[in-house]
């Protein structure tokens, strides 16, 4: 079996259109309802250890 080879050359514009969606996005941050620190949504707060206004883990 041979290697996978394109039949025709892809133009620079076609290549760049394909790569247009590679951009990075900044992570979404929300304020913790208990300590008002910035944290990732739907995750335990690293500052106070609470989730959904309930203490989940002990943070010293």
- 40 located within any domain: yes
- 12 located within any domain: no
Confidence grade of residue 4 (pLDDT, cut at 50, 70, 90): confident
Q: Tell me how long the chain is.
A: 60
- 5 located within any domain: no
Q: How does pLDDT run across 15-44, given as a tens digit for each residue?
A: 999 999 888 899 999 999 999 999 999 999
- 51 located within any domain: yes
- Pairing mode, strands 50-51 and 30-31: unpaired
DSSP state of 22: G
pLDDT at 55: 93
Residue 44 sits in which domain range? 25-60
State the total domains in the chain.
1
């Amino acid at each position: 079996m041979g290697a996978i080879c394109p039949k025709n050359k892809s133009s620079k514009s076609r290549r760049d259109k394909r790569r247009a969606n590679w951009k990075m996005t900044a992570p979404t941050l929300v304020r913790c309802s208990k300590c008002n620190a910035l944290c990732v949504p739907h995750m335990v707060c690293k500052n106070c250890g609470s989730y959904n206004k309930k203490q989940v883990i002990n943070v010293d």
